[in-house]
Chains A and B, each alone.
Chain A
């Protein structure tokens, strides 16, 4: 039983969402409505964490913010502890890993808002911000919710990157998936089983909730 690990996982998932969701809304909207040079490149870069193995990401992240990197040294000088193997470091890694999970559903959702709806909003004298808040975001709501749930669930289950940049420090970087790995190696199948069941329960609950919310949203769109 590792309560601390569940707390770390949930805290990490919520913090990742808090950082990524606003950024995802801005970037996803921009990618959906604007055309610019190099857009394909930006989109591929944002999708990169989907196809890169966690070890590759973990390796670059360690090189990028480990104690021997400029960013790591600067962080240590200010905060008094290292960025790698700390919760802030884990959060930074988690934010990078989750970019495609938050960006893609949001971009798709804004793309599915018909162009004439946006133009009509502009004709009615709404500023772009008003149009975004009052017209576009409510229409894109299911996609935004999907992004949030995917990111939350993905962060809870993330293993490879956390293993490389986390270091399994209790209360700080030992997430639930790492705790399960540690317990299995300690021949403590019972604890591992209970934690695995908890993760499963959370995953089923989150996905069910999204489906239910999605259904309640659907009729409004028709």
Chain B
């Protein structure tokens, strides 16, 4: 018990000591910007790519809207994986990309309910209807629909089921879908609508249950990726690798529907 408690501090001390040393002069990694719904799937793919090709990719996750804005303002990313192709089209129009990019996946959303929540997870939102009527919904998490595609899909599904207006005062908005998942899975909200790919991640298993939401309840989350103007040769290879069977298999495992 005591030893276990002391270890994080030892690690922290080692961390500080190491970090104060001279900065390493390793090869600069290829910079990739990616939508938060990819957080776990793309990490796996990047590890496989690094093992396979011997090059480092550094991934920055965020909402597709925030990342698009950063790219327009000059952020030095080489590849961008958006959760919504409209953002890629915007960059194409601004002449910041190599080409029109590739559709790499179609995303799905789930209703996630943390362990111990009074809510029950069902596809038709019956549980949410009932709990709302009983006044039992204090907080419900979704990503911000203004700039996060998964938030927009969540809003559409809630509207489709006539829940949006009543649920609105209880909504907590994540800056991106990962943060919404953070809110929804830690018991700070009775539940939330998050990406299927996050709900399937090992880090979330055991934190609650979920129900896949009908695809017909929202516009399809057509996810497009693109090489940006400054993409180098490693970026080219990573972009190609994402379309190879190994990477596609990982995306399928995380619940993405793949284009042909």
Contacts and interface: CB of A to CB of B under 8 A. Distances in A.
Q: Do A and B assemble together?
A: yes
A179 B8 CA distance: 17
Contact of A67 (B12, B73, B182, B204): B73
A67 B9 CA distance: 42
Contacts of B83: none
B12 A201 contact: yes
A83 interface: yes
B75 A85 contact: yes
Interface stretch (A35-43, A181-189, A212-220): A181-189
Contact of B31 (A6, A169, A182): A169
Contacts of A82: 73-76
A122 interface: no
Nearest to B56: A170
Given A10-B20, A185-B61, A198 B75 contact: no
Nearest to A83: B74
Contact of A66 (B11, B73, B185): B73
B136 to A, nearest CB: 26
Contacts of B58: 169-171
Nearest to A190: B8
Nearest to B67: A167
Interface residues on A, range: 35 or more
Contacts of B176: 185
A190 B29 CA distance: 25
A168 to B, nearest CB: 5
A87 to B, nearest CB: 11
Interface in B5-35: 8-9, 11-13, 15-16, 18-20, 23, 28-29, 31
B48 to A, nearest CB: 18
B74 A76 contact: yes
B36 A185 contact: yes
B157 to A, nearest CB: 22
B8 A193 contact: yes
A85 to B, nearest CB: 4
Interface string A23-54: 00000000000000000000000000000000
Given A6-B16, A186-B61, A188-B203, 19 more contacts: A3-B18, A3-B19, A7-B19, A72-B73, A76-B74, A81-B76, A82-B75, A167-B60, A168-B60, A169-B58, A169-B76, A170-B31, A184-B182, A186-B39, A187-B203, A187-B204, A194-B11, A197-B12, A198-B12
